[in-house]
Structure 1
Amino acid sequence: MPTTYKCPSCGAAMEFDSDTQKMKCPQCQRIMDVSEFDMDAADGNYDENTGFAGEGYEKESYDGEATGGTMNMKTYHCTSCGAELLADEYTSAVICSFCGNPSLVEDRLTGAYKPKRIIPFKINRDAAVDAYKKWVHKGPLTPAALKSQSTIEKISGLYVPFWLYDYKAEDRMIADAEKIRTIRRGNTEYTYHDHFYVYRDVEADFKKIPADASEKMEDGAMDKMEPYNYAELKDFEPAYLSGYLSERYNFMHQQMEERVNRRVDKYITELTRDTIAGYSSVNVRHNDIRRNNYNAEYALLPVWVLNCRYHGKDFQFMLNGQTGKIVADRPISKGKAFAWGVGTFVVSLAVMMLGGMFIL
């Protein structure tokens, strides 16, 4: 059942505020710590009948209507305005498109689906919109449709499910190396080629290797969103999701081992190879990688997302909700590209003609 956090002062839905890193009421501006909305820390004061937990806020549940359909979609009723909230089986936080009331789908945030850690949004919506506007105006050939207000309003804050892996790895590398040195005696120059057998045995611990567990988010784009600052990871509290969209994972950490193993192999190989320095050339003949047991932690990481279609193709703009890093492919307007080409040709032709006149 969806859940919302009510302001104890005015009854409006409270949201997580990225600026203060606290819960904030958009109506009366009351601010409260996220910990005050922690069910586990309520010391048993949560009453399932009244929906009251601890002091100072109300937790209200929606009696939703589950409907069968394609993609296991379900609808719930928003008690603020009565509109339907549509969510698929992986959605864990929604926002009513009519009244803007934030809601959490709690059964997708409990048990095996409860995240262990979270990095809260640090960049608010206004900052994300400003970043998008600056980015989109840097491209002279960007389609006008992407600059429209209706497109900009589609930007959404989304908590993307990730598995964070800790690995121990060992690399035993054998290489042939060569040093070339030159010595001059009198008028004669001698070149020596010294050959070496190089052996390295390197062990390393890799912490917090991220891999997104969302089927909807493209893996390559998510990899480019890195790095996140994991020093700001916090223990998960549902209240952090209020006011944002969120999804639970599509894939268990075991299903993503092969993808993460490739990254670990790359990291340990580069680390080991970098220890073989000071030679003119190095030829790696043998590279034996051993990965030991790993630990995987379920976490939610913040991303601002804007999706739209241009000439039948999907376009996606993404911004790291913690660091502000942008990942996007800029579409090109064919009309603007043609006009730009014609303009460039005309200017070039004019310059050539003027140059010819001066020569004469």
Structure 2
Amino acid sequence: MSDVQLKCPACGAPINFDVPSGKMKCNFCGATFSVEEVNQFNGISAANQELNAAYQAQKAGSQPPIPPPVPPGQQADPTLPAQTNSEGAPLPPAGVAAPAPQTGWVEPPPIYMDEATGQQMAQFECDSCGGEIIGSPDMVSAKCPWCNNNFVATGQLVRTRVPDRMIPFGMTKEQALAAFKKEASRLKLAPNAFKHASVDDIQGVYIPYWLYDASVSGMAEFECERRKTWSDSDYTYTKHDVYQVSRSGNIAYLDVPVSGTSKVTQDLTESIEPFDYSTSVGFSPAYLTGFMTNKYDVEAEEANPRALARMKRSAKDVLRKSVTGYDNVIMTNSVFEPAFGELEYVFLPVWLMNVDFQGKNYNYAMNGQTGKFVGTFPVSSVKYWGGLIGIATVLAAVVGSVFIPYVMPWILN
């Protein structure tokens, strides 16, 4: 399947996903269509099947057979091996002229490198204007820098896999900016200049995630204490009881997410959870238009330990919370065993923001479905120390008003 720019069924212009309506909207003629209608017009369903078939073939290590030369009037037999020349190169089919021998030097195709990482960049051609698009090797969707139309490199998915499902964006860019400004305005210690800082770098991104299903069975042992204190006219008594308590259980987990990209930290991606997976839809390139998308660069096998650690940590919390009625509880031992279930590959919506303030970069993220916002804000040293001095002044005034009337007579005498 070639890379695509989805076309409007009404006028043929590029069409994009419109977050507020949840439909596809043409910016040229103003027509709106459902994602299914655009998929049907652009042949996306068949294309997705083609991508999946290519991925499965590559995963199995198989390659499409090279057809041998066929005499005129006959059909090729794909089960026969390809004929080759003395150097091992396949011969052209009968009736097809062999390529002319090379008579001079040929300029090799350009290779673009990321100077920061030394990684070779990928090259794409825009279907609308023919311009060259340079992106990271795992880029799936972007915006053409020449004509500003949205571009979806669906061919990239052949080398990985088509997502099993995805959650479309439900929050707009304007809502993401409003969430940032609201959070900044309510922080008393944030610098005033930062509250009015311009957020130039904001991007809607579909982040690849792995979703894990499993059930975790286990047991935990706890040392629990109860203390009771009472007094009479002569003594104060304390009764200290120690108990050994055990708990066991089987806990089922559904859709435990682990980020499939190394470009965003796990702490950031986990901070904006949860997502409501009941609203997920089948994958379609239509939802990617207007947003950045990268395929995974963290294999499921690499993400497995993170998923298992999250499940075990949660299972420990469940068993711990079941032990109640004690003054102190310490877990002394625990054993957990997982029963592995299904594994899915999904795209989830996230707004990423970067603010450069006083030479430091501050990163923020917002759940593109629920609007949950996370990030660390700078603290004004003037406001911080001014606040401490103000608190100390108030405390000194309160203490002075209480003790000075009692201390002054002693000083005067």
Which residue does 2:81 correspond to in 1? none
User: Which amino acid is 1:18 matched to?
Assistant: V
> Is 1:235 aligned with 2:282?
yes
Equivalent of residue 93 in structure 1, options 129, 136, 141: 141
Bigger shift: 209-218 or 170-179?
170-179
2:287 is paired with a residue of what secondary structure?
helix
Q: Give the superposed CA RMSD.
A: 3.7
Which residue does 2:173 correspond to in 1? 125
Which residue does 1:162 correspond to in 2? 209
User: Which amino acid is 2:259 matched to?
Assistant: D
> Is 1:115 aligned with 2:163?
yes
1:272 is paired with a residue of what secondary structure?
helix
Structure 2: gaps of 5 or more residues = 51-108, 397-413
Conserved 8 A contact 2:214-2:338: yes
Percent of aligned pairs with the same amino acid: 27
Query: CA separation in 2, counterparts of 1:14 and 1:257?
Result: 38
Match runs of 1:279-298 below 5 Å: 279-298=326-345
> Is 1:102 aligned with 2:150?
yes
The verdict on how the C-alpha distance between 1:155 and 1:188 changes in structure 2, with shifts beyond 3 A counting, is closer
Match runs of 1:226-305 below 5 Å: 226-305=273-352
2:307 is paired with a residue of what secondary structure?
helix
Shift of 1:343: 11
Conserved 8 A contact 1:172-1:287: yes
Which residue does 2:21 correspond to in 1? 20
Query: CA separation in 2, counterparts of 1:43 and 1:175?
Result: 56
> Is 1:171 aligned with 2:218?
yes
Conserved 8 A contact 2:223-2:332: yes
Shift of 1:27: 2.3
User: Which amino acid is 1:263 matched to?
Assistant: R
Which residue does 2:410 correspond to in 1? none
> Is 1:223 aligned with 2:270?
yes
Which residue does 1:59 correspond to in 2? none
Conserved 8 A contact 2:157-2:295: yes
TM score, norm. by length of structure 1: 0.78
Q: Of Structure 1 and Structure 2, which has the larger fraction of its residues in strand?
A: 1
Which residue does 1:67 correspond to in 2? 111
Conserved 8 A contact 1:143-1:331: no
Conserved 8 A contact 2:112-2:120: yes
Query: CA separation in 2, counterparts of 1:255 and 1:115?
Result: 18
Shift of 1:181: 6.2
Task: String of CA shifts for 1:232-271, please: whole Å, max 9, x gaps.
Answer: 1222112111111111111111101222222111100011
The verdict on how the C-alpha distance between 1:178 and 1:330 changes in structure 2, with shifts beyond 3 A counting, is closer
Structure 1: gaps of 5 or more residues = 47-64, 353-360
Query: CA separation in 1, counterparts of 2:47 and 2:205?
Result: 31
User: Which amino acid is 2:10 matched to?
Assistant: S
The verdict on how the C-alpha distance between 1:13 and 1:136 changes in structure 2, with shifts beyond 3 A counting, is farther
Which residue does 1:210 correspond to in 2? 257
Structure with greater Cα Rg: 2
1:72 is paired with a residue of what secondary structure?
coil
Shift of 1:210: 1.0
Task: String of CA shifts for 1:127-177, please: whole Å, max 9, x gaps.
Answer: 2233233334445744747745xx434311110111111121112112333
Bigger shift: 159-168 or 272-281?
272-281
Bigger shift: 299-308 or 174-183?
174-183
Which residue does 1:49 correspond to in 2? none
Query: CA separation in 2, counterparts of 1:197 and 1:133?
Result: 51
Shift of 1:208: 1.1
For these two proteins, the number of residue pairs brought into alignment is 327
Query: CA separation in 2, counterparts of 1:112 and 1:147?
Result: 42
Bigger shift: 270-279 or 107-116?
107-116
1:287 is paired with a residue of what secondary structure?
strand
Query: CA separation in 1, counterparts of 2:211 and 2:11?
Result: 39
Query: CA separation in 2, counterparts of 1:254 and 1:86?
Result: 29
Which residue does 2:85 correspond to in 1? none
Shift of 1:10: 2.5
1:269 is paired with a residue of what secondary structure?
helix
Shift of 1:326: 1.0
User: Which amino acid is 1:292 matched to?
Assistant: A
Conserved 8 A contact 2:181-2:195: no
Query: CA separation in 2, counterparts of 1:308 and 1:274?
Result: 40
Shift of 1:207: 1.1
